[in-house]
Structures are given as structure tokens and as C-alpha cells.
């Protein structure tokens, strides 16, 4: 998880004051696990844009994959849909299986890791399906990727006394920049530049 990486980095630089600057590198796999936890968290790992697992007609996205391209974070999802009219427990319509891609720019938002400038890279050929996919890819997905890192770290630290014998307190955390760095050959990562102040008692 991203919070584990943040906490590990901050423990190395733990001070009371002033805040310590550090860089934390986050892999595409870590972002992917976060997305699965926050959005694709149903028992079957799906997010339903329309209907439910029991609906005759439905649209859902699944199997998110995260990668880096230039300065952007790319999210690939597979979609399956049954579009039409429900009748006596069946759906009178067409079935579509397609893939969709959206890319976003990581953005520092105080204590949070955010994403902006959503750009849809790939859509289906169905106008009806795209009517649901466009708002999901451009708004819902980026907003659900947002992480308030300070809140998550503070929750983890509530267990610090029992697990380490020390009481750890996060005084402040502020992101200055989030940038994709590296090449596809050498491996890219999302580099978080932040200030953090902690107390150890």
C-alpha cells in the first residue's frame, strides 16, 4: 500500500520539528492495488456503472491496470455489458466486451495525492456504452484514486505503541509535487516530494 511506503519513508526522517523533506517512490502496482481497494472492491472485483450482479442488463468495469506514460498515469479497464431492455429475468439487447483507457496527471493537493486533467485515450464503438463510460473514466475513476495520505498514516500510527513500544505521532504532512519519473526500459515510478514532521515518544 502507498501508506506503508509513506510511513516507512517518514520513520527514517522522523523529527519533532522542523518538518523533514523526503522523496517517496510509488510503483504502478501500488497505485493499482489502491484503485482496486477504493473502487473495484466488490466481491467479484467489479465496479457496476449500471445494474448489479443480479441484473439482467448491466454494465461493469473490471481488471484495472495502471502504467506510466511520459508524465501521465494511465489506467486501463476491461468492460462487459449487456445493453437492452430487461424482460422476465433476461435482457433483450446486445452484449459488448471492450477495453477503455484514461490517463491523468498526478497532482499534489496538500495532504492528498490527487489526479487531474483526465484524458480518455480509448473508448468503445458503442455510443450508448460510451455515454456511461465517459463520466466514469473522466470523473469517477480519478476522484476515487485520490488518497488523503495524512489520514491513512495517522490511522496506521494508532497501532504503533502496541506493535513497536513507541508512540508515533504525525504532526504534519504536505505534498509539494508528484511527478512520473524514469523510462519504460528502466522502470518508471511516481515520485512524491513531501514534507513531514513526526514525534516519537
d(CA 182, CA 73): 13
Confidence of residue 10 (pLDDT cuts 50, 70, 90): very low
Q: Is 121 left (phi over 0), alpha (psi -120 to 50) or beta?
A: alpha
Q: How many domains does the chain have?
A: 1
Per residue in 103-129, pLDDT tens? 999 998 888 889 999 999 999 999 999
Arithmetic mean of pLDDT, 20-39: 84
pTM for the predicted model, two decimal places: 0.81
Higher pLDDT, 172 or 60: 60
Query: What residue numbers bound the domain in which 178 lies?
Result: 2-200
pLDDT at 11: 45
Amino acid at each position: 500500500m502507498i501508506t506503508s511506503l509513506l510511513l516507512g519513508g517518514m520513520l527514517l526522517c522522523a523529527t519533532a520539528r522542523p518538518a523533514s523533506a523526503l522523496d517517496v517512490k510509488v510503483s504502478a502496482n501500488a497505485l493499482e492495488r489502491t484503485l482496486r481497494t477504493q473502487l473495484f472492491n466488490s466481491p467479484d472485483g467489479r465496479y457496476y456503472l449500471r445494474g448489479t450482479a443480479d441484473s439482467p442488463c448491466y454494465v461493469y468495469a473490471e481488471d484495472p491496470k495502471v502504467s506510466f506514460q511520459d508524465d501521465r498515469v494511465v489506467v486501463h479497464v476491461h468492460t462487459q455489458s449487456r445493453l437492452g431492455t430487461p424482460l422476465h429475468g433476461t435482457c433483450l439487447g446486445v452484449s459488448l466486451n471492450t477495453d477503455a483507457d484514461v490517463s491523468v496527471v498526478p497532482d499534489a493537493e496538500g495532504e492528498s495525492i490527487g489526479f487531474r486533467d483526465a484524458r480518455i485515450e480509448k473508448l468503445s464503438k458503442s455510443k450508448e456504452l460510451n455515454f456511461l463510460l465517459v463520466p466514469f473514466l473522466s470523473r469517477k475513476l480519478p476522484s476515487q484514486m485520490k488518497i488523503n495520505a495524512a489520514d491513512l498514516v495517522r490511522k496506521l500510527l494508532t497501532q504503533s505503541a502496541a506493535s513497536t513500544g513507541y508512540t508515533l505521532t504525525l504532526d504534519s504532512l504536505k505534498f509539494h509535487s508528484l511527478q512520473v519519473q524514469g523510462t519504460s526500459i528502466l522502470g518508471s515510478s511516481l515520485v512524491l516530494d513531501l514534507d513531514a514532521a513526526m514525534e516519537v515518544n
